[in-house]
């Protein structure tokens, strides 16, 4: 064997490589101390990607530990495996997780978004679950900008191009347009999978001497250093990082899904791990860490699609559609033959060893030999300074009396309906296949949450993916609470009980004390809400350094909420029949602070967002679920961006064009607060007139306000004395604002 110390670059060169991975001189000195020698180039690369925020969560982990992670239904907790697992019924489990692909999508939107889909799907089927649904949360700058149009088109095509080819339906999500995301778009993707308990797979290396096999596509230089790229700010030179963006092949991934799920049903596979961020480095070290053992591999045995790839290249590549299997000794030929039938590579690249080291060979040369714990469990953690932002007090101060009310409130409603954030997203979601697998029972845009039929039972899954960056900018603590409350409210609107949460936490530079204060407060609010609602966090993603040359994004936690309903038929948001009563169920008052109306019509990004009272919200959940159980609701739509008037308008044309008359309204000092103010606990429902008495009784028993606003019918939307417009005209504004 050639010595590990042979052919090493100079100390200066090694420190330069370390710096390219955002490794400081102090951290580099720590690596030397851990190893007791100068590291090799490959080792510097391994430490660099594993020390990155993207892999280590070195700034965020202390706060993430405050999330509730246990519950009666939790089968796999956050951080234990590739994705969390929740028990449903009849031995069915749901596997779900959310990930971000923000930086890659900013420099190469098609492949950035496509490989974001591919990566999160692999996290799901690695657990042994069949992926059954995708959702996405997308954020861009103002739609009028040419760059925003370029990014939007590329991201949407990437999601459609990958997800449609996989045969996994894209069923829901959100799209937001705001100045804060002009330089740094957000692309967050959630995947949901289903499996039987007995089919659950684990990602631990076990059995000394068991072979380690590489399966899937060949390794290239695409995605090289992707984890490090995702752990620094975007700047004017970021286009040079385009090679750090992976290139996806959805047809290869479709084959990989089927081949892997079949292989996991055999006794041949002991452990399995996706090659995601940091590629072979992460998959080898994490399986060893979970199995409390060592691993070794030879990069010369790795299938490569480019010539002259070094060990550094191979270990850091983030090429897509690759998996790592630990298999029983003697099963190698069966595994190879199985994956060959699907047109995929399957080669033995190493083995499980005694001890606790990761050893990497390049043929006969040992190029890396380091303790697994040093790059998994013992990476440096930082207690970053925090400081309340200087802008906050002034931003929260709002004198509502200084804001003139619009002369024409109907025109204001029209302006709000045409805002890209509020307007119909059908130009986007119609590019996605949402009916493949024929389990989708609520079409995109028709309900507040996506609903997926659970075959073999009478039940269904509901899921939403939401967040509000402006709320969190103006009050991170309440904004964090609101992000969870919004997800829970969306799920109960369709008739499901909230079960658990995954998240994407999108923030700026963690070395800025004000940004770390925002992060701390958002997580504090989210954690309290998850405890209150009994929705443990099963996993997720932290995306930091979301900044452009001029500013950081608003703090934007995005919450994926999963719920379960006993029926497979959801309640959708659109009004159904003339004569039905329109009812407002509420637990708080609407306000102008932090609203879409205040920001985009009045030009004021000020005030405090709505406050969340957990006990009142749980009462609203009980009210809704009891009404669903009695099957008296025909529609349900929560009041969010744009307020009551927008909510009712959307209910008039979310399924078919039908009018509504609201002539009995809550009392507010200002008409714009009533019509366009936002609340944390308002839901507009409709029911047959004869069911109003039953609904009132349920509301009284759960201490929820229940007010009949008016009735469904006609061709116009009439609200008090302020609004009288043809529904068809309003729908045209709402439906045609976004074109691709």
Give the Cα separation of 274 and 324 in Å (integer): 6
Token output for 293: 């053992």
Closest CA to 422 of 20, 698, 737: 737
Measured CA distances, 616 to 592, 693, 699 (Å): 21, 22, 12
Give the Cα separation of 81 and 78 in Å (integer): 7
Token output for 458: 């009478």
**Contact present, 50 and 283 (Cβ < 8 Å):** no
CB neighbours of 553 closer than 8 A, spacing ≥ 6? 139, 180, 181, 184, 186, 469, 506, 507, 508, 546, 547
**Contact present, 714 and 663 (Cβ < 8 Å):** no
**Which residues partner with 219 through β-bridges?**
304
Distance of CA 472 to the CA centre of its chain: 17
Give the Cα separation of 37 and 730 in Å (integer): 70
Distance of CA 530 to the CA centre of its chain: 16
Active site residues: 54, 101
How crowded is residue 437: how many other Cβ atoms within 10 Å of its Cβ? 17
Cα atoms in the 13 Å half-sphere on the side-chain side of 373: 6
CB neighbours of 485 closer than 8 A, spacing ≥ 6? 529, 533, 612, 617, 680, 681
**Interhelix angle 476-494/513-533, nearest 10 degrees:** 40
Element containing residue 452 per DSSP (H, E): strand 450-453
């Amino acid at each position: 064997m050639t010595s590990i110390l042979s052919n090493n670059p100079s100390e200066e060169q090694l420190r330069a490589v370390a710096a390219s991975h955002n490794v400081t001189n102090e951290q580099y000195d720590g690596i030397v101390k851990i190893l007791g020698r100068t590291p090799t180039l490959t080792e510097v690369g391994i430490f660099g990607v594993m020390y990155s925020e993207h892999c280590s969560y070195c700034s965020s982990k202390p706060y993430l530990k405050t999330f509730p992670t246990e519950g009666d239904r939790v089968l796999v907790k956050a951080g234990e495996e590739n994705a969390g697992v929740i028990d449903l019924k009849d031995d069915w489990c749901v596997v779900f997780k959310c990930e971000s692909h923000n930086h890659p999508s900013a420099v190469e939107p098609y492949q950035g978004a496509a490989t974001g889909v591919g990566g999160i799907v692999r996290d799901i089927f690695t657990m042994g679950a069949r992926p059954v649904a995708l959702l996405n949360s997308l954020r861009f700058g103002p739609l009028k900008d040419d760059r925003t149009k370029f990014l939007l088109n590329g991201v949407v095509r990437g999601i459609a191009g990958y997800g449609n080819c996989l045969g996994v339906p894209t069923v829901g999500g959100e799209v937001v347009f705001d100045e804060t995301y002009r330089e740094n778009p957000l692309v967050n993707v959630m995947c949901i999978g289903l499996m039987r308990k007995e089919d659950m797979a684990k990602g631990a290396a076990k059995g000394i001497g068991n072979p380690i096999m590489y399966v899937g596509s060949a390794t290239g230089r695409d995605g090289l250093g992707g984890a490090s790229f995702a752990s620094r700010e975007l700047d004017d030179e970021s286009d040079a990082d385009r090679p750090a963006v992976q290139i996806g092949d959805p047809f290869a991934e479709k084959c990989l899904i089927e081949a892997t799920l079949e292989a996991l049903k055999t006794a041949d596979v002991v452990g399995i791990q996706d090659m995601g961020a940091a590629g072979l480095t992460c998959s080898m070290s994490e399986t060893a860490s979970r199995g409390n053992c060592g691993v070794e591999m030879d990069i010369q045995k790795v299938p490569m699609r480019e010539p002259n790839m070094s060990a550094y290249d191979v270990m850091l590549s983030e090429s897509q559609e690759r998996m790592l299997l630990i298999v029983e000794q003697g099963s190698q030929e069966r595994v190879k033959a199985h994956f060959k039938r699907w047109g995929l590579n399957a080669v033995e690249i190493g083995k499980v060893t005694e001890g606790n080291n990761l050893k990497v060979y390049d043929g006969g040369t040992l190029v890396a030999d380091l303790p697994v714990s040093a790059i998994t469990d013992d990476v440096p953690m930082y207690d970053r300074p925090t400081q309340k932002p200087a802008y906050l007090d002034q931003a929260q101060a709002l004198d509502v009396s200084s804001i003139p009310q619009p002369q024409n409130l109907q025109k204001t409603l029209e302006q709000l309906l045409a805002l890209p954030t509020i307007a119909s997203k059908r130009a986007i979601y119609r590019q996605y296949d949402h009916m493949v697998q024929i389990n989708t029972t609520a079409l995109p845009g028709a309900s507040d949450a996506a609903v997926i039929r659970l075959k073999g039972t009478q039940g269904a899954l509901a899921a939403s993916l939401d967040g509000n960056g402006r709320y969190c900018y103006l009050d991170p603590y309440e904004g964090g609470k609101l992000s969870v409350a919004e997800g829970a409210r969306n799920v109960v609107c369709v008739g499901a009980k909230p079960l658990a949460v995954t998240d994407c936490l999108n923030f700026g530079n963690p070395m800025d004390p004000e940004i770390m204060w925002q992060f701390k407060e958002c997580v504090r609010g989210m954690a309290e809400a998850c405890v209150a609602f009994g929705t443990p966090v099963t996993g997720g993603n932290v995306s930091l350094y979301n900044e452009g040359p001029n500013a950081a994004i608003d703090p934007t936690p995005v919450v994926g909420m999963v719920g379960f309903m006993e029926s497979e038929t959801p309640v959708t948001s659109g009004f159904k029949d003339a004569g039905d009563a329109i009812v407002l169920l509420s637990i708080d008052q609407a306000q102008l602070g932090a609203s879409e109306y205040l920001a985009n019509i009045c030009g004021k990004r000020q005030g405090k967002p709505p406050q969340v009272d957990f006990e009142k919200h749980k009462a609203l959940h009980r009210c809704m679920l009891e009404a669903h159980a009695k099957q008296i609701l025909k529609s349900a739509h929560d009041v969010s961006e744009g307020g009551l008037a927008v909510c009712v308008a959307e209910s008039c044309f979310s399924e078919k064009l039908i009018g509504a008359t609201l002539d009995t309204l809550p009392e507010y000092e200002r008409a714009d607060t009533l019509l366009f103010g936002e609340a944390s606990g308002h839901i507009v429902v409709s029911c047959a007139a004869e069911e109003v008495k039953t609904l009132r009784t349920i509301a009284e028993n759960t201490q929820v306000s229940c007010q009949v606003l008016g009735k469904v019918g006609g061709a116009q939307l009439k609200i008090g004395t302020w609004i009288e417009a043809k529904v068809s005209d309003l729908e045209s504004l709402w439906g045609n604002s976004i074109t691709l």
